[in-house]
Structure 1
Amino acid sequence: MRRCELIRVLGGIVVGLRPHRLLVVAIAVFALLPIEVSDAGWLPDLFKSSSKHPKAPKRAKSAKPARLARHRAPSKQRATRLAALGPVALPPSASKPAAAKCDPSALRIVLDVGHTAESEGAISARNVAEFAFNLRLARLIEEKLKADGFAETRLLLTEGKARPSLFKRVAAANDLHADLLLSIHHDSVPNKMLEDWEFEGKKRHFSDRFSGYSVFVSRNNPDFKTSLLFAELVAREMKAEGLQYAEQYSQPIMGPDQHPLLNKDTGVYSYDKLIVLRRTAMPAVLLEAGSIINRDEELKMDSPERRNAISSGVASAVKEFCEPRWALLGPL
């Protein structure tokens, strides 16, 4: 039985039901329906079926990521549940095709490895360059995304000094016609906050004052709305992994490194002038995975367990970005 045929059956069932029973039926049916039925506006049709003068529902416009393709077919279990309801006549309003969804095999994600071998970024409390942390984590994220079917994932390695390399990576991402960019970094603190300590017989610098991940977007990105959507998904997955976000960026003590906190629950900040976020032609997000200048957190960031947690969280965020309602309901 085709999905949309169910609408007329439901309309007949709910006629004459009391309001509170009608709500219970609607909720129960929603649990049985495949995702595509909600796209066709079945819930408004269901409630309007008992009206004397029903009106055709308007299709809502929804934001979709670039490079959309058809949604995967419903699972066998979903189809079995629908088939059990039996055949009915197909209403004319149900003949419209379901909205297209993201195709994981076609979605092109660029994983930008922050900094370069010539300009290595921050130096950890134990004298390890940030670039080494970034590259190792980005490769693991790439591996997980490809294993999840995102075959078009690209690892972006850039050469050169700091500022010129920023424009190079933006140009490379744009040339790849990417649908989404995620820049991978590890955090430090302004130099004025650094303290001295001795490690392996040599003087090093550290700051145990702050820790945690943070996620940045630019309100000047050409697709800020989608950038923010993906940033929220990444941040929520980090939080779901039991991680805490770095709160210092909203504090005046950070001086010029202070940034507006867009979501105090998840740790999403705006960094409007950052080149890699505002100059890219696609939605772009920057993830500071954790603080490597914090001596305790550096050890955690160097552990397979923490890298696995972060990379798994990013992979889950990408899957939800691609198929949001499937991620919400989960398998039936």
Structure 2
Amino acid sequence: MLFAFWVQHLPIHNAVQTPANGAGKSIKAEELAHDPVKLTTIVIDPGHGGHDPGCLGAHSREKHLALAIGKYFAEALKKNYPDLKVIMTRDKDVFIPLEERAQIATKNKADLFVSIHCNYIPKRSSVSGTETYVLGLHATEENLEVAKRENSAILYEDNYMETYGYDPNSPEAHIIFSMYQNAFLEQSIRFAEKVQKHASLEASRRDRGVKQAGFLVLRHATMPSVLVEAGYLSNAAEENYLRSKKGQVEMANALLVAFSEYKNEVEGIAEGNA
């Protein structure tokens, strides 16, 4: 695990080259730096929205469930951490391009980015549980399919090839994601592990583990970031759970406890290194 923010060890002249919006655009290390002592800002990103419904369950749409969980999470954070700046990429049923979601976090100098989604596997109605993704390569075919499904949101955007500079499902994307995966990887994994732990403890969710895949929304985030797949809409019992207020509140509470534990650890480590 990383015991200090990675930018403290990154030469100040280093830059991460991005293919988005043309070659040569870069994010300098100093632009990635955050205050290592306090976590002051979190961005919650309910996936999909507007004309992008996300996964379709028998009785629900992913966009609505992600928004409900996100709102409960934001409410819990504000109640427990009144000094914490809590920002939602969307608080109603509207479409937000993937790149813009990450830009909201970067613009507000967020210390953590949490994207909330629901999963779906056709013809496999018995699959259940919560899994949390960090940016990385598609280690398995299943991870690749999840990433493709979530990245397909860009197809709802105008001129997505011009905006992102490549097709996320192309062989080229594999190389691009490998360039980004180490930036905040260890911190992202640390938080992801806590999400999985408390989804099991607080919401009695099956722990499907921390995984890596090339999600565009994480690739554009310049801070520790995760994408949480709360459950499977292809599973009738899971869909009913995620549609219920009980399920949504329990998932939000799991995220709250994970954040609290992560915040205490990071701030304690930073103070110890001061």
TM-score range, shorter chain: 0.5 to 0.7
* Structure 1: runs of 5+ lacking an equivalent: 1-60, 70-101, 195-206, 247-266, 328-332
Matched, 1:143 2:75: yes
Give the Cα separation in 2 of the matches to 1:121 and 1:304: 20
The structure number with the bigger radius of gyration is 1
1:1-332 correspondence to structure 2 within 5 Å: 62-64=3-5, 66-69=34-37, 102=38, 107-126=40-59, 128-149=60-81, 151-157=84-90, 159-160=94-95, 165-189=97-121, 193-194=122-123, 207-219=124-136, 220-221=180-181, 222-241=183-202, 242-246=204-208, 267-271=209-213, 273-324=214-265
| Count of matched residue positions in the alignment of Structure 1 and Structure 2 | 192
Structure 1 distance, partners of 2:126, 2:3, is 43
Match of 1:330 in 2: none
Letter in 2 for 1:308: V
Report the counterpart of residue 49 of structure 1 in structure 2. Answer: none
Unmatched tracts of structure 2, length 5 or more? 7-33, 137-179, 269-274
Supply the RMSD in Å over aligned alpha carbons: 2.3
Shift of 1:295: 0.9
Q: Could you say what secondary structure the match of 2:206 adopts?
A: coil
DSSP 3-state at the match of 1:281 = coil
Q: Is the 8 A contact 1:208 1:296 kept in 2?
A: no
Cα deviation, residue 245, structure 1: 2.7
Higher RCO, 1 or 2 (CA under 8 Å, sep at least 6)?
Answer: 2
Deviations 1:195-229 (A, max 9, x none): xxxxxxxxxxxx42211111000133421111111
Q: 2: distance between equivalents of 1:243 and 1:209?
A: 14
Report the CA distance between 1:172 and its aligned residue.
2.0
Deviation at 1:325, TM superposition (A): 8.8
Q: Helix, strand or coil for the counterpart of 1:123? A: coil
Do the aligned partners of residues 326 and 177 (structure 1) sit closer, same or farther apart at CA in structure 2, a change above 3 Å counting?
Answer: closer
Tell me the TM-score normalized by structure 2: 0.64
Kept in 2: contact 1:125–1:294 (CA 8 A)? no
Residue pair 2:4, 2:36 contacting (<8 A) in 1 also:
no
Give CA deviations for 1:48-93 in whole Å, capped at 9, x if unaligned: xxxxxxxxxxxxx932594344xxxxxxxxxxxxxxxxxxxxxxxx
Checking the alignment, whether the CA contact within 8 Å between 1:320 and 1:326 is kept in structure 2 is no
Equivalent-residue separation in structure 1 for 2:114 and 2:186 (angstroms): 15
Q: Return the alpha-carbon distance in structure 2 between the equivalents of residues 160 and 232 of structure 1.
A: 29
TM-score by length of 1: 0.54
CA drift of 1:233 comes to 1.1
Letter in 2 for 1:309: E
Please list every run of at least 4 consecutive aligned residues from structure 1 whose deviation after the TM superposition is greater than 6 angstroms. Answer: none
Contact 1:144 1:312 in 2 (8 A): yes
